[in-house]
Amino acid sequence: MMQDEAWEGPKWVYAFLLGVCALLVYAQSVLASKNKPNEKYTGQYPRAFVDFQRRFLVVFFLFTLIEGLQTVYREALYQDYGFGRREIGIFVVTVHTVALFFGTILGVAADSIGRRKATIICGLLELVGCSVRYSKDFYLLCFANVCHGLAISLFPTALEAWLISEHERLGFRQEWLCKTLWLMALGTGAAAIGVGAFANLMVDRLGLGLVSPTFVAAAVAGLGIFLVLNGWVENVGTQQHKLSVAMVNAFQALTDRRILLLGWVQATFDVTFAAFQFLWTPTLIADGRDIHSGMIYVYLMASLMLGSAVAALLLCGPYTNRPETFLPLVFIIASLALLVPAYDHQEIWLLVTVFCIYHICVGIAWPSLAYLRIIYIQNDRRAGVLSFFRVPVHLGILFIIIKGGILKQVENSTIFYLCILGLLSACVALHSLDKHRLLMSVSGGQVGKLPAEKLDPLRL
């Protein structure tokens, strides 16, 4: 039934979500600083670590802004250029097809050519791709999407590989990485909100045109390249400048059952989140409902920030929680939230509520999975393994776009059900991973072929 006005929800919800998020962050800081008997959680960080963390996070958030600025009005820009659903579908398929076949090789190469160089290449690809989008030529836009597909294969794999390796090289304590990881999730949510507001300001208020956010993204890419060139040092895997060796090392890592289990968990989480990004708006506007999608998107990003604050409590103290123990519950809650839109088109307030719950789960899972990757993946092959983790994700996205979006052969509810099954299978994989980790702790074994005490401060 059509509504007289676009539904946007109660005005106080956004303030409430951010207020609870700020309260949890403050509570974690206070509790951690008061936990004096445990030296690990004094709440004090040396200046060198803070400078290193800021140097990384600034670049990470700049690259996050590049993606957001291109996404906000991308479809509207293509429509303004005169392209229909078929051409827009080709553009999206191009991105993920290139990322699947060529981007995977480029991601593996980051371990051999160096993660700093790979990050610079990522920025250059985004700079070129954004600069070309001013053209209305179909083939030039395809080239822009080829550049974007290669860039998303390097971001965030190369950046994460650089962060972990450099953190270890500088001798910082392993548990300090937890703070960086949840700040990445928290800042991503905040950046998404800011990007939306800034893009609306340029397009709607200032009338600069639909392509203006993309030009700003090109400028941000240039700034990111400059900061990497002047603030990062290079780190590589064990075999520099040998792509074949990097490829073999990444394949060998995948023969480890623990990494395969972790890869399945990561892939199902990423595919589910990607599917949600495609389906949440069509689900809300079903049956002719009118919504204020921009305001609802703000609710979702605030919920993601709230989840990252919960992750800070779970990962960074004052308590010690292994991600394998609480992530299954998080995934079960996320599955129950997705069951609502999969079962039926409910009242809009209920759909928005469960979507917010799902994003809280995403905010918890994002840094928690990153911490598991730190534990199980070796630094010399990290970017390559992360690139292979993305292969099923791109396949899943292509399935959703082609079968669900272009050909209309798969219902949205079916995609939701498949995502639920994937999350439940991830719970089983996490349980198996937890059993293996406990056995390793009891037997005094090693995790990731490095001392468990060094890699895993949260172990029993």
Going along the chain from its start, the domains and CATH numbers come out as: 12-33+47-455 (1.20.1250.20)
DSSP letter string over 211-251?
THHHHHHHHHHHHHHHHHHHH------SSTT-HHHHHHHHH
Distance CA 241, CA 223 (A): 27
Q: Tell me if residue 291 falls in helix, strand or coil.
A: strand
Q: What is the pLDDT of residue 125?
A: 97
- Tell me the mean pLDDT in the region 159-186: 91
Distance CA 316, CA 252 (A): 32
Q: What is the pLDDT of residue 249?
A: 83
Q: Which pLDDT tens digit goes with each residue over 5-16?
A: 678 778 788 888
Tokens of 414: 């079916």
Confidence bin at 277 (pLDDT 50/70/90): very high
Q: Tell me if residue 154 falls in helix, strand or coil.
A: helix
DSSP letter string over 85-122?
HHHHHHHHHHHHHHIIIIIHHHHHHHHHH-HHHHHHHH
Count the Cβ atoms, other than its own, within 10 Å of residue 140. 13
Q: Which pLDDT tens digit goes with each residue over 38-79?
A: 444 444 688 899 999 999 999 999 999 999 999 888 988 999
Q: Which pLDDT tens digit goes with each residue over 387-421?
A: 999 999 999 999 999 988 888 889 999 999 999 99
**Do residues 195 and 62 touch, judged by C-beta distance below 8 A?**
no
**pTM for this model (two decimals):** 0.90
Q: Which pLDDT tens digit goes with each residue over 431-442?
A: 999 887 766 555
Distance CA 116, CA 322 (A): 31
Q: Tell me if residue 11 falls in helix, strand or coil.
A: coil
Residues 6+ apart with CB under 8 A from 15: none
Q: What is the pLDDT of residue 454?
A: 38
DSSP letter string over 380-416?
GGHHHHHHHHTHHHHHHHHHIIIIIIIS--S-HHHHH
